Structure 1
Amino acid sequence: MSVIIKKASVADIEILQQTGRQTFAETFSESNDEAQMKKYLEESFATEKIHSELSNPDSHFFIAWEEGHPVGYLKLNSGAAQTELQDGAALEIERIYVKKSHQGKKIGQLLYAKALDVAHELQKSYLWLGVWEENHKALSFYRKNGFYEFEKHIFRLGDNEQTDLMMKKNLE
């Protein structure tokens, strides 16, 4: 398997939408109401929203490609693009999404390595992210990579409130 990580551009909107919707649904559909999930996917991956995020110089998207097919993607935020902390010393990993068919093939690790590279390039002191408290697979992945829990916050999926664990990794 040869996976290539490439920076995404506005030309990749449809790929990001399709990959984002598919991976989010694969991961969270079983635990959530179908109507709420549909609404969340439509809003979160709307063309205007993705276009705006791609156009923001503080947001960075990367797509993992295997033999010409997108198999996952990474979204990073710095500065005011961060969803919460907005600390100039930090880089947020907003999304590491890998298609279910490609999980367990180290693609998440490759995307995470790209996040580390960007953090070093931008001279950030730490990485942070939010993970749903019930997403044990992701929590295990981040703990294995040196992240620790420092806070909690509420993530809204439609009318449903869920608890995300805020995790961070110092880079010094």
Structure 2
Amino acid sequence: MTIKITKCSREDLQTLQKISIDTFHDTFKDQNTPENMEAYLAKAFHSEQLERELANPSSEIYFVYFNEELAGYLKVNINDAQSEKMGEEFLEIERIYIRSPFQNHGLGKHLLNKAIEIAMDQNKSKLWLGVWEKNRKAIAFYNKMGFIQTGAHSFYMGDEEQTDFIMSKTLV
């Protein structure tokens, strides 16, 4: 078993777009209407939006490979790229997604450790993320990894307002 994490660049745009759409759709399709899912995917993962994210010096995106096969990705933000103003000491984990066939192989933990490494390199003392209140599997994972719920914010899936728990972790 080999696990490799690589930083994304503009040349990875189409691959990033495909894995973003596939993993988000697979994760949330059963809990949302097709119309809201389609509206969100078209906006969040439009090629121009992903190009802006890749070009932002305060964001980084990484692919994770399992036995040479693309299995998932991570997106982290600092400073003004954060989706909420949390302060200079925070690094946001905006996305950790693993394709279904690769779940339960510890890849989420590898990506979380990568986020911690980036935070330490950037002199950040805290991590935060938003996770949908109905995503019990992810909430349990983040709790296990030392995150605690510290708040909540709205997340819009198409025209439906949903609640994301804000979870944070202080780095030692």
User: Where on the TM-score scale, by shorter chain, does this alignment land: which range?
Assistant: over 0.9
Residues 96-139 of structure 1, C-alpha deviation per residue, up to 9 Å, x if partnerless? Answer: 00001111011111111100100110010100000000100100
- Counterpart check, 1:21 vs 2:51: no
Q: What is the one-letter code of the residue matched to 1:44? A: A
Partner of residue 36, structure 1: 36
> Match of 2:146?
146
CA contact (8 A) 2:66 2:102 kept: no
Between 89-98 and 38-47, the greater mean CA deviation after superposition = 38-47
Q: Give the percent of matched residue pairs that are identical in Structure 1 and Structure 2.
A: 41
Residue in 2 aligned with 1:136?
A: 136
Stretch deviating more after TM superposition (94-103 or 82-91): 82-91
Tell whether 2:71 aligns with 1:76: no
Distance 2:101 2:19 in 1: 12
Distance 1:169 1:137 in 2: 18
Taking the TM superposition and a 5 Å limit, the aligned residue runs for 1:21-170 are: 21-170=21-170
Cα distance in structure 1, aligned partners of 2:103 and 2:68: 17
* Number of corresponding residues: 172
Question: Which stretches in structure 1 are left out of the alignment for 5+ residues?
Answer: none
Letter in 1 for 2:149: E
Separation in structure 1 between the aligned mates of residue 19 and residue 129 of structure 2, nearest angstrom? 20
Runs of 4 or more off by more than 2 Å in structure 1? 66-69
Q: CA deviation at 1:86?
A: 4.3
Q: Partner of 2:105: helix, strand, or coil? A: coil
Please tell me whether the aligned partners of residues 146 and 169 of structure 1 are also in contact (alpha carbons under 8 angstroms): yes
**C-alpha separation in 2, matches of 1:69 and 1:51:** 23
Q: Deviations over 1:1-21 (max 9, x none)?
A: 212000111111111111111
Distance (Å, rounded) in 2 between the aligned partners of 1:101 and 1:68: 14
Question: How far apart in 2 are the matches of 1:151 and 1:39?
Answer: 26
Question: Any idea what the Cα deviations from partners look like across 1:50-81, whole Å, max 9, x if unmatched?
Answer: 00100000001000013432110000000000
TM-score, normalised to structure 1, is 0.97
Distance 2:121 2:138 in 1: 25
